[in-house]
Amino acid sequence: MPIPDKIYALAPEMTAWRHDFHAHPEIGFEETRTSEIVARALEGWGYEVHRHVGKTGVVGRLKVGTSPRSVGLRCDMDALPMHEITQLAYRSKFENRMHACGHDGHTASMLGAAKYLAETRNFDGTVTLIFQPAEEGVGGANAMLADGLFDRFPCDTVFGFHNSPKLDVGKFAIRPGPMMAGGAFFDIKVQGRGSHGAHPEHSIDPVLTACQIVTALQSIVARNIGAVDQGVISVTRIEGGDAYNVVPDTAWIRGTARFFKPEIGKLIEDNMKRMAKGVASGFGATAEVDWRLIFAPLHNTPDEATFAADVAAEIAGEANVERNRSLIMGSEDFSFMLEKVPGAYINIGNGDSAQVHNPAYDFNDKLLPYAAAFYARVVEKKLAAA
């Protein structure tokens, strides 16, 4: 089945929602206007609506028939704190606020699917619509999970998508297993003892110690991680001292690590702590590592990845579905939901647009019917009447 006619018919309405969201971008956990528009629309179509799941998140549920089966659909709603440079008629009305990742389009397309599903009711079971806040590194998925998302609204499986610049509109891309990297941020505090710069013999130099730690950390990638596993450690900031002639008391090493397997993330964390402490100890200093997991690796369960690819192939044709796309070093916090419930995340082409997080980016409205059809057909196929 290609895109259903009834979804094509919703394209003008989805486009209007999308342009309205684009003009009124709200960053993580501030999506009060967006989530209220979503909640009221869902209520109008007969969904059971739950506000404030994960602060500004919204959950909508619709049960049709008698089956106990359930499927979750997830989108993100937040914008970024950056300045839009497009001259679009619907460009951001606010300084330092921009829908530069396409979450305006993600939300609009899931609303389109919601309206279609409520009108057609061509399934047997419960659909749970998860409108997530704060995807951009500030913990929206975990906030919803902490509020009992899957305990209060059980889902057998859960599905989501992200638009993909440079992939043609009408094309889908996915892979089973790991698809996007996990990401952690780290801060290492190196504590030494300050002195006059002319008398380092009176110091325990934290700057020299920090430099040795930075060099040693790369041995984790080179010597501790197996060559077939991917891992990245990037020290991106070093701080310490204020003067040319003073050895400071402390120095800081900050950066990010990326990896595709949770156990490799743990391996990097454990080795980093041991290495930092050990190297510091050799210099008579101490080191403390603060490691914060921001994104889990995104892992598609194989059956659901195949199912999502089959849905995409129905909509767009097998030739337009890349079933084994390359790994993505970027991260996505839907990964935390996929740690709890089987499911899959798919990319849908945004065409020849600027990259996401670029001030010239815009979501491609031609994608809306493809995304809405993907969401809707996932439900109709997963919860097909017996």
Single out the residue of 150, 122, 169 nearest to residue 315, CA to CA. Answer: 169
Backbone dihedral region of 236: left (phi > 0), alpha (psi from -120 to 50 degrees) or beta?
alpha
Instruction: Decide: is 101 part of the binding site for Zn ion (CB under 5 A).
Output: yes
Q: 177 and 260 in contact (C-beta within 8 Å)? A: no
| CB nearer Zn ion, residue 240 or residue 349 | 349
Of 53-61, 96-104, 166-174, 247-255: span binding Zn ion (CB under 5 A): 96-104
In the complex, which residue's CB is closest to Zn ion? 101
Of 101-109, 118-126, 277-285, 370-378: span binding Zn ion (CB under 5 A): 101-109
Residues whose CB is less than 8 angstroms from the CB of residue 383 and which lie 6 or more positions away in sequence, other chains included? 64, 67, 69, 70, 71, 123, 124, 125, 126, 127
Instruction: Decide: is 296 part of the binding site for Zn ion (CB under 5 A).
Output: no
Single out the residue of 231, 230, 189 nearest to residue 213, CA to CA. Answer: 189
| CB nearer Zn ion, residue 262 or residue 330 | 330
CB of 114 to Zn ion, least distance (A): 20
H or E element: which one contains 302? Answer: helix 302-316
User: Maximum CA pair distance of the chain?
Assistant: 83
Of 22-30, 98-106, 120-128, 282-290: span binding Zn ion (CB under 5 A): 98-106
Instruction: Decide: is 141 part of the binding site for Zn ion (CB under 5 A).
Output: no
DSSP 140-169: HHHHHHHTTHHHHS--SEEEEEEEETTSPT
| CB nearer Zn ion, residue 307 or residue 334 | 334
Q: How many residues bind Zn ion (CB under 5 A)?
A: 1
CB of 323 to Zn ion, least distance (A): 22
CB of 361 to Zn ion, least distance (A): 10
| CB nearer Zn ion, residue 123 or residue 345 | 345
Interacting residue ranges for Zn ion, rule: CB under 5 A: 101
